[in-house]
Structure 1
Amino acid sequence: SRPKIAIHKNRVYMKTSDNKGYQKKTQKDYSLSFKLQLVEDIESGRLNRLEAHLKYGIQARSTITQWLRKYGTFDWENLSVTTMAKTPEQRIIELEAKVTLLEKQKARAEHLAERADKKVIIFDMLVDMAEKEYDIQIRKNYTPKLSTNIESKPKKH
Structure 2
Amino acid sequence: MQLTESKRKYILLGIVAFIITGFITAKVLASKQDEEFLRDDLLYQQTSQLYNDGKFTEAENLVNDLLLRKPNSEVVNYLGAVITANLADYNRSVILFQKTLDINPHKVEDPMFMLQFGEVLFFVERYVDAKTVLEKCREGGWVPEDYPTYQERVTELLTQIENMQ
TM-score normalised by length of structure 1 = 0.31
Structure 1 or 2: larger helix share? 2
Structure 1 or 2: larger strand share? 1
TM-score normalised by length of structure 2 = 0.29
Greater Rg by CA: 1
